[in-house]
Amino acid sequence: MRVVKKITNGILLIIIGIMHTQFAVSSGGFQKQILHFSESYFYKISEGMKELPASIQNTNFESFATFWFLYFGFFIIPLGLLVHFIEKQKQVLPHYFTISYFIIVLLGCYMVPNSGITLFMLPQAIYMLVSNYLKVKKVQ
């Protein structure tokens, strides 16, 4: 039970970020594309505007998906560190942050229902919203 009390929303975000990044580099994920990116030292991993309009002939969708998994994982880890720091200081997260995060996750669940955003991030977003609301009520 002590471990559960030490888990903050920030730690959950860090775990999600690590899982995202790990999937990007795993053999079951996008390892092939990551190895291809590393050949150019991660420079110019796509043709950019030349790949528009998005179509099967023009666009390398695997590269876009790889970029998304890798860089979203990199982005969410520092966000988790920030949230963890705020929570460890016994401060309440800004209400607009928790609501915005929840709305973004709901939008992601709508757009990609059978994905990690629904399985991992939706429960975490609900937990963040409820736990932060209870902290606000406790302070008042």
The angle subtended at Cα 20 by Cα 109 and Cα 97, nearest 5°, is 55
Rounded Cα–Cα distance for residues 23 and 19 (Å): 6
Cα 27 vs. chain centroid, distance in angstroms? 20
**Residue 97 and residue 33 share a domain:** no
Provide the domain count of the chain.
2
**Residue 130 and residue 96 share a domain:** yes
Q: pLDDT 10s per residue in the chain (140 long)?
A: 566 667 889 999 999 999 999 988 888 888 888 888 888 777 777 666 766 676 677 777 777 788 888 888 999 999 999 999 999 998 889 999 999 999 999 999 999 888 888 999 999 999 999 988 888 888 77
**Residue 96 and residue 85 share a domain:** no
Q: Which residue has the tokens 């998906």?
A: 65
**Residue 106 and residue 40 share a domain:** no
Does the pTM surpass 0.85? The reply is: no
Q: Which domain, by its residues, includes 58?
A: 1-90
What one-letter code names the amino acid at 66? T
127: tokens are 């937990």
What one-letter code names the amino acid at 89? Q
